[in-house]
C-alpha cells in the first residue's frame, strides 16, 4: 500500500512538473511592432510565440478560448474595440471592465503608439499649438486622417488651426516632407521612418489624441498560472520608450532584420548576424512549416472535392437547387479572410489548425461546385438519351457518361481551388 501511495505521489509531482514547464503562449498581430513586441515577450519569458494571428477580434477570441495567454495591446484599442467605449479610461478602470470578460491588462511597456503630427527637425516646430501661429505652413495629411472624426476635423477645432491641408498618400508624404514640398504630416508616434527622415514628433500639448499606451493584455488567471513568466515581464515595465520603439521598428521594417533577431538585440543578445537566403530556406522549422502548409492546402482541397462535386451534381440534376447552391457557395467568397477566421475561432473555440482548415475548405468549395455543375450541364442531351435507350440506369448514365465527359471541367475547378488555397494558407 505504501508503495502504491509513493508511486501516486511521484506521478502527481511529475504531472505538476510537466505543467510548470509548459511555456506561456504569446500572441501578436500582423504588423511590425506587434511582431517585435511578441518576440520580446516570448524571449523574455522563454515562451512560445504564436506570431501574426490576425486582428484584435482574433487575438481576443484566442485569449477567451485559452489558445494564447498574453499579447501586446494598446490602451486605446482596448477601450475602443474591446470595451466599445470612447471614454478615456485609466488602466485601473480598464481592468475593472475587463474583469467581466475574464481578461486583464498590466505591465505598461513605456511608450504610446498614437496619432501624431511630424515636421522636419530644422523647422523650429515643437508642439501642435505652434501651428496655430503659422498659417503659411503646408500640411500633407493622409486621406484616412482627414476623414476620421478624431483626426483632422477634431484636431483643427481643438487647436484652432487655420491651415487647409492637402490629401496625400502616406508613403509619399515622407518624401514630400524630406524634399520640402510640405511642412507637416500625420504619422504614428513610433513609425519606423521617423529617424530615417529626421522627423520631429510634435507634442500634443492639449492632449487631443487618446493615449495608445502599450500594455500586456492577458487572461485574468495568467499571472497565477505563469508566475515566473510574469515576474520576467515585470522587468519590461516602462523599459521601452518611443525612440527605442522607433529604432526597433526601423531595424525590422527598413533594415529587414528578422523580428526574432531584433528582439534578441534589444534584450542584450548582441548584433544579429546577417541571415542568408540559404539559412532562411533551411531553417530548423522549415520542414514543419512546409508540412503544415501542405496539410492545410491538400486536406481542405480533398474535403472540398468530396463535398463540392456531389453538390455540383445535385445542382445539375435538381434544377431549382442550382441557384441557391451556387449563391451560398459564392457568398463565402465575399467574406474577408480575417473576418471569417475570427468567426470560426469563436465558433470552434480554438485557434490554429481547425479554423484555418474550415476556412480554406469554404473558400475552395465554389470553384469545384460551380465547375461540376457546369460540366454536367454541358453534356449533350443526345448522349443521355442514347444511354437511356440502351437501358442504362440514371446511376450508370452519371458514372459512365456524364462524369467522364465533365472530368476536364471538374478538374479545372479543383486546380482553381488549389491555387486559392495555396495563396490563402
Strand 199-201: give its sheet, edge to edge: 166-167, 139-141, 184-188, 115-120, 199-201
**Rounded Cα gap, residues 128 and 184, in angstroms:** 10
| Location of each CATH 3.40.190.10 domain in the chain | 24-111+212-275
| Location of each CATH 3.40.190.120 domain in the chain | 115-201
Dihedral, 355, 360, 366, 367 alpha carbons, nearest 10: -170
Q: Which of 360, 371, 365 is nearest to 411 (CA)?
A: 371
- Most distant CA pair in the chain, distance: 94
- 139-141 and 184-188 strand pairing: parallel
Please, where are the H alpha helices in 349-402?
353-377, 381-389, 394-397
CATH code 3.30.70.1400 for 286-424? no
Per-residue pLDDT of the chain (425 residues; tens, 9 = 90+): 444 443 444 344 434 444 445 789 999 998 999 999 999 999 999 999 999 888 888 899 889 888 899 999 999 999 988 999 988 899 999 999 999 999 999 999 999 999 899 999 988 899 999 999 999 999 999 888 888 777 899 999 999 999 999 998 877 889 999 989 999 999 999 999 998 889 999 999 999 998 899 999 999 999 999 999 999 999 999 999 999 999 999 999 999 999 999 999 999 865 555 555 665 566 555 676 778 778 888 899 999 999 999 999 999 988 888 899 999 988 888 888 878 877 887 777 666 678 888 999 999 999 999 999 999 988 888 888 888 888 888 888 888 888 999 999 999 999 999 998 888 76
SS (H, E, C) 16-62: HHHHHHCCCEEEEECCHHHHHHHHHHHHHHCCEEEEEEECHHHHHHH
Q: Cell 531595424 identifies what position?
A: 251
Strand 214-219: give its sheet, edge to edge: 48-54, 25-29, 70-74, 214-219, 103-106
The DSSP 8-state label assigned to residue 169 in this structure reads: -
The DSSP 8-state label assigned to residue 370 in this structure reads: H
Which superfamily, per CATH, for 115-201? Answer: Osmoprotection protein (prox); domain 2 (3.40.190.120)
CATH code 1.10.1060.10 for 24-111+212-275? no
Amino acid at each position: 500500500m505504501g508503495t502504491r501511495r509513493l508511486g501516486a505521489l511521484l506521478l502527481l509531482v511529475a504531472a505538476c512538473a510537466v505543467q510548470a514547464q509548459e511555456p506561456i503562449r504569446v500572441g501578436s498581430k500582423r504588423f511590425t511592432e506587434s511582431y517585435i513586441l511578441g518576440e520580446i515577450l516570448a524571449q523574455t519569458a522563454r515562451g512560445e510565440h504564436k506570431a501574426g494571428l490576425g486582428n484584435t477580434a482574433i487575438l481576443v477570441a484566442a485569449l477567451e478560448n485559452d489558445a494564447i495567454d498574453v499579447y501586446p495591446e494598446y490602451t486605446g484599442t482596448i477601450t475602443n474595440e474591446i470595451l466599445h467605449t470612447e471614454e478615456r479610461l485609466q488602466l485601473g478602470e480598464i481592468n475593472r471592465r475587463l474583469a467581466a470578460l475574464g481578461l486583464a491588462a498590466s505591465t505598461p511597456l513605456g511608450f504610446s503608439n498614437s496619432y501624431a503630427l511630424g515636421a522636419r527637425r530644422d523647422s523650429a516646430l515643437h508642439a501642435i499649438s505652434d501651428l496655430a501661429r503659422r498659417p503659411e505652413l503646408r500640411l500633407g495629411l493622409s486621406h484616412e486622417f482627414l476623414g476620421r472624426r478624431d483626426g483632422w476635423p477634431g484636431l483643427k477645432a481643438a487647436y484652432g488651426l487655420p491651415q487647409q491641408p492637402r490629401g496625400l498618400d502616406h508613403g509619399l508624404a515622407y518624401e514630400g516632407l524630406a524634399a520640402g514640398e510640405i511642412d507637416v504630416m500625420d504619422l504614428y508616434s513610433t513609425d519606423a521612418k521617423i529617424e530615417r527622415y529626421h522627423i520631429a514628433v510634435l507634442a500634443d500639448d492639449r492632449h487631443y489624441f487618446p493615449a495608445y499606451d502599450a500594455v500586456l493584455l492577458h487572461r485574468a488567471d495568467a499571472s497565477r498560472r505563469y508566475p515566473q513568466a510574469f515576474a520576467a515581464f515585470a522587468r519590461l515595465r516602462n523599459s521601452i520608450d518611443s525612440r527605442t520603439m522607433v529604432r526597433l521598428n526601423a531595424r525590422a521594417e527598413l533594415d529587414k532584420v528578422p523580428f526574432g533577431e531584433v528582439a534578441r538585440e534589444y534584450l542584450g543578445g548582441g548584433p544579429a548576424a546577417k541571415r542568408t537566403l540559404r539559412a532562411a530556406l533551411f531553417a530548423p522549422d522549415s520542414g514543419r512549416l512546409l508540412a503544415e502548409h501542405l496539410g492545410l492546402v491538400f486536406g481542405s482541397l480533398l474535403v472540398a472535392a468530396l463535398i463540392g462535386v456531389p453538390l455540383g451534381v445535385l445542382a445539375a440534376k435538381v434544377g431549382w437547387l442550382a441557384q441557391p447552391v451556387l449563391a451560398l457557395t459564392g457568398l463565402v467568397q465575399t467574406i474577408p479572410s480575417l473576418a471569417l477566421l475570427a468567426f470560426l475561432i469563436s465558433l470552434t473555440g480554438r485557434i490554429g489548425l481547425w479554423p484555418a482548415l474550415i476556412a480554406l475548405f469554404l473558400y475552395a468549395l465554389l470553384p469545384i461546385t460551380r465547375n461540376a455543375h457546369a460540366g454536367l450541364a454541358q453534356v449533350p442531351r443526345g448522349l443521355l438519351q442514347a444511354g437511356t435507350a440502351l437501358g442504362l440506369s440514371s446511376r450508370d448514365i452519371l458514372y459512365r457518361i456524364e462524369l467522364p465527359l465533365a472530368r476536364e471541367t471538374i478538374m479545372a475547378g479543383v486546380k482553381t481551388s488549389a491555387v486559392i488555397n495555396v495563396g490563402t494558407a
